[in-house]
Amino acid sequence: MISTLLRNRSGESELNASRHVMVVEDEADIRRVIELNLLAEGYNVKVAADGNEGLEVIRSIKPDLVLLDLMLPGKDGLDICREMKADPSLTDIPVIIVSARGEEQDVIIGLGLGADDYICKPFRVGELVSRVKAAFRRAENRSGNETNSSLSFGDVVLDLEARKLLISGVEVHTTATEFRLLQALLESPGKAFSRQLLTDIAIGDEVYVNERTIDSHVSSVRSKLGDARGWIRTVWGVGYRFEPEQGSQA
Ligand code: CA
């Protein structure tokens, strides 16, 4: 079983060997499952079972990604996230929250603090690995091409200069709010957005809106995406994420 897990499954492993992933998780079984599966993908993995130790290691090795449990002895995950985001040398490190059921409120707070994504326990191993890969892709897109003038996924093109949505080459009218909403989602495929964060980005935090207002904007945006409407997924209890079909990223 372990030898199967550890067998190198992808040609990405050489690249992954240069990527350090820090896992802060106090439950030994879960920590081990995460560690083994990331090792199998070729990542360089460090683990800590305690929040204080976790933050100490994060400060000393400056990993490329952190998988962060919320309920931890020593220092809890939200505090670790808060301290990382307040430290200029750590703020750009993507954080994926690994939460237990019933911690949706904390997940929402964590996403508001700047965490990238979250995984709910119990999770499927394939899901964990794909969230980690997506986080690395986003980090590389951020550092690589910040001058993108359009975002394209299959037939969906968002022209950032002309402020237009094109579906199969045909312009589809969007409101300014819908455009901002789409831009946020398409700029970070795979990232989980809380309703509050999307509201702040798309509507602004100056006007009072019911959090559910964003749902009606999302629903309207979905209807404009045609066959790609399913790419905006509902993240249960939290908000939304954009998950284009594999291979549709231009
Ligand atoms: Ca825990």
The string of DSSP letters for 180-197 reads HHHHHHHHSTT--EEHHH
Q: CATH 3.40.50.2300: which residues of the chain? A: 2-143
Give yes or no for residue 148 having a pLDDT over 80: no
Is the separation of the CB atoms in 184 and 206 below 8 Å? no
Instruction: Report how far ligand 1's centroid is from the alpha carbon of 71 (Å).
Output: 4
Q: So what's the pLDDT on residue 7?
A: 45
pLDDT at 168 over 70: yes
Cα-to-centroid distance, 59 and ligand 1 (Å) = 21
Across the chain, mean pLDDT equals 89
**50 closest CA partner among 30, 73, 21, 68:** 73
Rounded Cα–Cα distance for residues 198 and 207 (Å) = 14
Tell me how far the alpha carbon of residue 74 lies from the centroid of ligand 1, in angstroms: 11
Largest Cα–Cα distance in the chain? 56
Predicted local confidence at residue 87, as pLDDT? 96
Residue 153's pLDDT is 93
CA of 70 to the centre of ligand 1 (A): 6
- 54-63, 84-93, 95-104, 159-168: segment of lowest average pLDDT: 95-104
Query: What spacing in Å lies between the alpha carbon of 172 and ligand 1's midpoint?
Result: 46
**CA 91 to ligand 1 center in whole angstroms:** 23
Q: Where are the alpha helices (DSSP H) in 45-146?
A: 51-61, 77-86, 104-113, 125-144
If pLDDT is split at 50, 70 and 90, which confidence band does 58 have?
very high
Q: What is the pLDDT of residue 11?
A: 59
CA of residue 147 to ligand 1 center, whole Å? 40
**According to CATH, where is 1.10.10.10 located in the chain?**
147-242
Structure token digits, residue 7: 């067998």
What is the tens place of the pLDDT at every residue in 186-233? 999 999 999 988 998 998 876 677 878 999 999 999 999 999 999 999
Q: What span, in angstroms and rounded, lies between the C-alpha atoms of 224 and 226? A: 6
Helix (H) or strand (E) holding 223: helix 213-224
Strand, coil or helix: what is 185? helix
Share of the chain above pLDDT 90, in %: 75
| 220: region left, alpha or beta (phi > 0 left; psi from -120 to 50 alpha) | alpha
pLDDT confidence of residue 206: 65
Average pLDDT over residues 75-96: 96
250 pLDDT exceeds 90? Answer: no
Fold of the domain spanning 147-242:
Arc Repressor Mutant, subunit A (1.10.10)
Q: Evaluate if residue 237 carries a pLDDT over 60.
A: yes
Inter-axis angle of helices 195-202 and 213-224, nearest 10: 70
Nearest to 152 by CA among 61, 228, 211: 228
Ligand 1 (ion): residues with CB under 5 Å are: 26, 69, 71
Split at pLDDT 50, 70, 90, the class of 104 is: confident
The CA 127 to ligand 1 mean position distance, Å, reads 19
Does residue 1 register a pLDDT over 60? no
pLDDT bin (cut points 50, 70, 90) of residue 147 is: low
Give the architecture-level CATH label for domain 2-143.
3-Layer(aba) Sandwich (3.40)
Does the N-terminal peptide bond of residue 122 adopt cis geometry, omega within 30 degrees of 0? Answer: yes
Tell me the C-alpha distance between 50 and 34, whole Å. 16
Q: Which amino acid is at 88?
A: P
Distance between Cα 161 and ligand 1 center (Å): 45
